Protein backbone atom coordinates (compact mmCIF):
# COMPACT_ATOMS: atom_id res chain seq x y z
CA UNK A 1 0.00 0.00 0.00
CA UNK A 2 1.04 3.59 -0.47
CA UNK A 3 1.96 6.05 2.26
CA UNK A 4 2.20 9.82 2.08
CA UNK A 5 5.23 11.56 3.51
CA UNK A 6 4.09 15.07 4.43
CA UNK A 7 7.16 17.26 4.35
CA UNK A 8 7.79 19.85 7.07
CA UNK A 9 6.06 23.19 6.70
CA UNK A 10 4.07 25.87 8.46
CA UNK A 11 1.59 28.63 7.81
CA UNK A 12 0.79 29.57 4.24
CA UNK A 13 3.61 27.49 2.73
CA UNK A 14 2.28 24.97 0.19
CA UNK A 15 1.73 21.43 1.46
CA UNK A 16 4.44 19.27 -0.10
CA UNK A 17 4.32 15.48 0.00
CA UNK A 18 5.81 12.39 -1.58
CA UNK A 19 4.50 8.85 -2.03
CA UNK A 20 6.18 5.66 -0.93
CA UNK A 21 5.23 1.98 -0.75
CA UNK A 22 4.92 -0.32 2.24
CA UNK A 23 4.27 -4.07 2.51
CA UNK A 24 0.73 -4.50 3.87
CA UNK A 25 1.61 -7.72 5.69
CA UNK A 26 4.88 -6.54 7.24
CA UNK A 27 5.21 -2.74 7.32
CA UNK A 28 8.80 -1.69 8.03
CA UNK A 29 8.07 1.85 9.16
CA UNK A 30 5.78 3.36 11.76
CA UNK A 31 2.98 5.41 10.18
CA UNK A 32 -0.27 7.17 11.03
CA UNK A 33 -3.71 7.05 9.41
CA UNK A 34 -6.12 9.90 8.83
CA UNK A 35 -9.86 9.51 9.32
CA UNK A 36 -11.85 12.47 8.03
CA UNK A 37 -14.86 13.46 5.95
CA UNK A 38 -14.37 14.34 2.28
CA UNK A 39 -17.40 16.68 2.60
CA UNK A 40 -17.55 16.87 -1.20
CA UNK A 41 -16.16 14.81 -4.06
CA UNK A 42 -14.99 17.98 -5.79
CA UNK A 43 -11.25 18.36 -5.40
CA UNK A 44 -10.89 22.13 -5.70
CA UNK A 45 -7.68 22.51 -3.67
CA UNK A 46 -4.24 21.08 -4.36
CA UNK A 47 -0.98 19.96 -2.81
CA UNK A 48 2.42 19.24 -4.32
CA UNK A 49 2.87 15.47 -4.59
CA UNK A 50 6.27 14.31 -5.82
CA UNK A 51 6.74 17.79 -7.28
CA UNK A 52 3.46 17.81 -9.24
CA UNK A 53 0.18 19.52 -8.47
CA UNK A 54 -2.31 16.98 -7.06
CA UNK A 55 -6.01 17.85 -6.51
CA UNK A 56 -7.52 17.27 -3.05
CA UNK A 57 -10.68 18.34 -1.27
CA UNK A 58 -10.60 21.55 0.72
CA UNK A 59 -11.19 19.63 3.96
CA UNK A 60 -8.17 17.37 3.34
CA UNK A 61 -5.96 20.36 2.55
CA UNK A 62 -7.05 21.96 5.83
CA UNK A 63 -6.26 18.74 7.73
CA UNK A 64 -2.80 18.49 6.16
CA UNK A 65 -2.02 22.13 6.91
CA UNK A 66 -2.85 21.51 10.55
CA UNK A 67 -1.23 18.08 10.95
CA UNK A 68 2.11 18.76 9.27
CA UNK A 69 5.07 19.37 11.51
CA UNK A 70 7.36 22.42 11.27
CA UNK A 71 10.64 20.47 11.39
CA UNK A 72 10.02 16.80 10.61
CA UNK A 73 8.11 14.72 8.09
CA UNK A 74 4.88 12.90 8.88
CA UNK A 75 4.29 9.44 7.36
CA UNK A 76 0.56 8.90 6.99
CA UNK A 77 -2.03 6.86 5.10
CA UNK A 78 -4.78 8.99 3.54
CA UNK A 79 -7.40 7.31 1.33
CA UNK A 80 -7.80 10.25 -1.05
CA UNK A 81 -4.10 10.23 -1.94
CA UNK A 82 -2.99 6.63 -1.30
CA UNK A 83 -5.77 5.02 -3.34
CA UNK A 84 -6.10 5.66 -7.08
CA UNK A 85 -9.65 6.99 -6.93
CA UNK A 86 -10.12 6.58 -10.70
CA UNK A 87 -9.28 2.85 -10.67
CA UNK A 88 -12.29 0.82 -9.46
CA UNK A 89 -10.29 -2.42 -9.13
CA UNK A 90 -7.56 -0.81 -7.02
CA UNK A 91 -10.09 1.09 -4.93
CA UNK A 92 -11.96 -2.17 -4.21
CA UNK A 93 -8.77 -3.95 -3.17
CA UNK A 94 -7.59 -1.07 -0.98
CA UNK A 95 -10.98 -0.82 0.74
CA UNK A 96 -10.74 -4.55 1.50
CA UNK A 97 -7.42 -4.05 3.36
CA UNK A 98 -8.28 -0.75 5.09
CA UNK A 99 -8.92 -2.51 8.40
CA UNK A 100 -5.41 -4.00 8.24
CA UNK A 101 -3.89 -0.63 7.31
CA UNK A 102 -5.62 1.12 10.22
CA UNK A 103 -4.86 -1.68 12.70
CA UNK A 104 -1.14 -1.63 11.87
CA UNK A 105 -0.83 2.14 12.14
CA UNK A 106 0.87 3.73 15.14
CA UNK A 107 -2.07 6.06 15.69
CA UNK A 108 -5.15 7.35 13.87
CA UNK A 109 -5.73 11.06 13.53
CA UNK A 110 -9.38 12.10 13.33
CA UNK A 111 -10.05 15.38 11.56
CA UNK A 112 -13.47 16.88 12.31
CA UNK A 113 -12.86 20.08 10.36
CA UNK A 114 -12.15 23.63 11.32
Q: What DSSP letter does each residue of 56-97 carry, written as one string?
A: E-HHHHHHHHHH--SSS-EEEE-HHHHS-TT-HHHHHHHHHT
pLDDT along the chain (114 residues), means of 10: 95 93 83 86 88 94 95 96 89 90 95 86
Does the residue 20 lie in any domain?
no
Q: Between β-strands 52-56 and 2-6, what pairing exists: parallel, antiparallel or unpaired?
A: unpaired
Residue 52 pLDDT: 96
Does the residue 99 lie in any domain?
yes
Which residues lie closer than 8 Å to 37 by C-beta, 6 or more apart?
59, 111, 112, 113
Does the residue 14 lie in any domain?
no
Residue 86 pLDDT: 86
Does the residue 18 lie in any domain?
no
Does the residue 75 lie in any domain?
yes
Residue 3's beta-bridge partner residues? 20
Whole-model pTM? 0.87
Using DSSP's 3-state secondary structure scheme, residue 11 falls into: coil
Q: How many domains are contained in the chain?
A: 1
Largest interatomic CA distance in the chain = 37
First to last CA, the chain: 29
> Which residues constitute the domain of residue 102?
2-9+27-111
Does the residue 92 lie in any domain?
yes
Does the residue 78 lie in any domain?
yes
Does the residue 48 lie in any domain?
yes
Amino acid sequence: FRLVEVHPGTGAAPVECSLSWEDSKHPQRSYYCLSYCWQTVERTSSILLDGCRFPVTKNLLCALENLRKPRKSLLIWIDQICIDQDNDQERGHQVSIMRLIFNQSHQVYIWLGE
